[in-house]
Amino acid sequence: MALRVLLSTTLLSSLLSLVLFSAVAAVISGRRGRRTAVGFFHPYTNDGGGGERVLWCFVRAMQEENPDLDRAVFTVDDASPQSLAARALDRFGVKLLRPPQLGYGFSRVLQHSSMYNNDAPIAISWLSWSVGSCAHLAMVNSSWTRSLIDCLWKIPPLTKRVYPPCDTSSLQMLPLGKPVKSPVIISVGQFCPEKAHSLQLEAFAHAVGILDQDMPRPKLQFMGSCRNKQDEERLWKLKERCRELNLDNFVEFHRDASYRDLVQLLCGAVSGLHSMIDEHFGISVVEYMASAVIPIGPKMDIALNEGGRKTGFLASNKEEYTEAILKVITMAEAERLAIAAVVRKCTQRFSEQKFFKDFKAAVQPILAPKSSS
């Protein structure tokens, strides 16, 4: 079986730290008569991040577009195809047509090289440039990512922007109205350093401290996953800091929760925090907006003004986050509902249906059988 198409949902370079789920298609010629296979290079399939959800949506899209095509997911994780398919459904609401085949070799070489070889980052960076510059197709997830890939790989005509898939249809069914007696602010994201959860907690504490006594006390709900012991320690320190700030009654932590739990939390939230700077794309922000949850965070491709109307609040430091939190929880209900309605409307361009349409349009030319001359 000839591996003719390689779709990579993770860049083989230092871009891995940014969790860029750019999809790279490189067509490799095989001998006539061999079958065509598609390989998805995604070293970590159990980190709970947005990139993992995109992986399973890629796999499902390929299953729908080419049912007879062989597919394999290359990973370093020890898991069965059945357990990964079950995880895709439970954690992300993505139902695969059948469990994927798994491959390991190259992924584990990279894993061990990174652990024991100081030159690994240089080698992987060179490999990323080599693979990318030879690609027949590169799919990027945002304008920010596209500018980066254009600079690194220099193949603008072959680079297509395909926004990641977000389950906006079901989230848009959630009510616009939210509980106002105790406003809930949510933060969704892995407990990794770049997500800056500490900044969110400090800003929330400051907002609670200066809020008028006659105003209802807000709650902050953290929801995310831990990839390793470092993330677990970071979560523990976050909880310790919460106790130091006397916020035990106002802050909740939800670790490794299911997609169903996420929907329930979004249903009750009025605002969502996001504090990663220069993120390529934030699926959690789209989930906020589809759920009529007003986003607060750095300037992003996602939260743009819609027809001159506000779709969120920009913030980059503790003071700005504090100010934005206070604005959301003290604004009149009619004003909040008006913003929430505009916010929800903006997410149509990030729907799963739009993703599948754009993805299939991008890969169809390189997967379509070539006519014999």
Q: Residue 94: its pLDDT value, please?
A: 87
Contact 110, 11 (CB under 8 A): no
**DSSP per residue, 155-191:** -GGGEEE-PPPB-HHHHTTS-S----SS-EEEEES-S
Q: Which residues contact 341 (CB under 8 A, 6 or more apart)?
A: 176, 292
**DSSP notation for 296-343:** EES--SSS--BTTB---EE--SHHHHHHHHHHHHHS-HHHHHHHHHHH
Q: Please name which of 139, 189, 203 lies closest in space to residue 5, comparing C-alpha atoms.
A: 139
**3-class SS of residue 276:** coil
* Residue 228 per-residue DSSP state: S
Give the model's pLDDT for residue 10. Answer: 37
Across 42-51, 112-121, 132-141, the highest mean pLDDT is recorded for: 132-141
Segment 175-190 shows an average pLDDT of 87
Structure tokens at 366: 């390189």
Task: Tell me what pLDDT residue 308 has.
Answer: 65
Instruction: Convert the pLDDT of each residue in 323-338 to its tens digit.
Output: 999 999 999 999 999 9
pLDDT score for 330: 92
pLDDT per position as a tens digit, 54-92? 888 888 988 888 888 888 887 777 788 898 899 888 888
Closest CA to 348 of 175, 187, 163: 163
Residue 253: predicted pLDDT: 97
SS3 content of the chain, % helix, strand, coil (to 5): 45, 15, 35
354 burial (CB, 10 Å; 0-12 / 13-18 / 19+) is: middle
pTM of the predicted protein model: 0.70
Q: How confident is the model at residue 27 (pLDDT cuts 50, 70, 90)?
A: very low
Q: Which two tokens stand for residue 315?
A: 């913030």
Q: Which residues contact 228 (CB under 8 A, 6 or more apart)?
A: none
| DSSP secondary structure code for residue 349 in this structure | G
Q: Which two tokens stand for residue 257?
A: 């929760």
pLDDT (mean) for 333-349: 88
**What local confidence, expressed as pLDDT, does residue 351 receive?**
81
Q: What's the confidence (pLDDT) of residue 48?
A: 65
Both structure tokens of 152? 């690194």
Mean pLDDT (whole number) for 293-310: 72
Output b/e per residue, 58-81; b: 16+ Cβ within 10 A: bbbbbbeebeeeebbbbbbbeeee
pLDDT reading at 244 higher than 50: yes
pLDDT for res 305? 61
Q: CA-CA distances (angstroms) from residue 308 to 304, 311, 349?
A: 9, 9, 18
Lowest model confidence (mean pLDDT) among 185-189, 298-302, 311-315, 337-341: 298-302
What's the whole-number mean pLDDT along residues 292-309? 72
Burial category of 89 from C-beta neighbours within 10 Å (exposed 0-12, middle 13-18, buried 19 and up)? middle
pLDDT band, residue 188 (cuts 50/70/90): very high
Q: Are strands 184-188 and 219-224 parallel, antiparallel or unpaired?
A: parallel
Q: Which two tokens stand for residue 109?
A: 């070489």
Q: Provide the mean pLDDT of the chain.
A: 79
Predicted confidence band at 271 (pLDDT cuts at 50, 70, 90)?
very high
As a whole number of angstroms, the distance between CA 43 and CA 52 comes to: 10
Proportion of the chain above pLDDT 90, given as a percent = 29
Q: What is the pLDDT of residue 28?
A: 39
Pairing between β-strand 294-297 and β-strand 271-273 as defined by DSSP bridges:
parallel
Amino acid at 50: G
